Amino acid sequence: MSIEKDSLPKRFTQGDFEYEKKKATTPIYFVYPEYVEELKKYKIPISPDMQDKELTNFISRITDIESIDKKIPTIIRLKYINREGPNKGKKAEYMVWYESWNATDKNGHVIPEVSDLPRGYDKGVDVSRSTDSDGTDNYKVEREYWKYNVPFSADKLDEILQETNTDADSVQYIVNGIRSWSGFSYDEFRNLTFAELEERGRTGKVQQPVVLENKTNKTVATKSK
């Protein structure tokens, strides 16, 4: 009786083992890394959709992280009551922004851009604990919330623009208050108070209000076209 070659068990080579080893040690990047670390701490399963595959692929193909060309298309000022950190329980003003990353691989080929990478905020999580009859603790996510970690200041605004070599006049500036407005100039966004910016939005001295959406896990406000 003859045995078909394809029916035989595969003989693993050293290359197979090296590939699996590399796969196991390749870093995975997440949209909200602090949130993921918090889940890991409580041994709560990480779902595949939490992984930022776009960013993971991008980082895996570059040879020098310093070669990344970063630009900021959108910056947002908002007020929020944080549930942790120095401003816990107090309403404070924060700044969030989105970055677009470009680079080439070791052969000079352009890597697909990473767009709308969120900066200045992450997710927090409240968990509940239950104990099995054998004394094992189990944790369950009860609620999630936003965590903002960059208080707004004119100096910080200038710092992130300089660090990314972003032209200040090319950025879309958004204010999230009672409603969301865009169309502010750099000087207005940098120097006016939050109340003054809201007033400009209410009186129609800027573009139409921005429609709030959350179609992906990367956005807290849409950008005007």
Statement: the pTM of the whole predicted model exceeds 0.85: no
Share of the chain above pLDDT 70, in %: 81
Which secondary structure element, helix H or strand E, spans residue 196, and what is its range?
A: helix 194-202
What token pair was written down for 55? 């960013």
* 3-class DSSP state of 175: strand
Beta strand pairing status for 121-131 and 180-184? unpaired
Tens digits of residue pLDDT in 134-157 = 888 999 999 999 999 999 999 999
Q: Is the pLDDT of residue 202 over 70?
A: yes
> Mean pLDDT across the stretch 77-104?
91
Q: Is the pLDDT of residue 181 over 50?
A: yes
> Hey, where are the domains in the chain?
26-202
Tens digits of residue pLDDT in 2-55 = 445 455 455 545 554 444 444 445 678 888 899 999 999 999 988 877 888 888
How far is residue 194's CA from residue 159's CA, in Å, rounded to a whole number?
A: 20
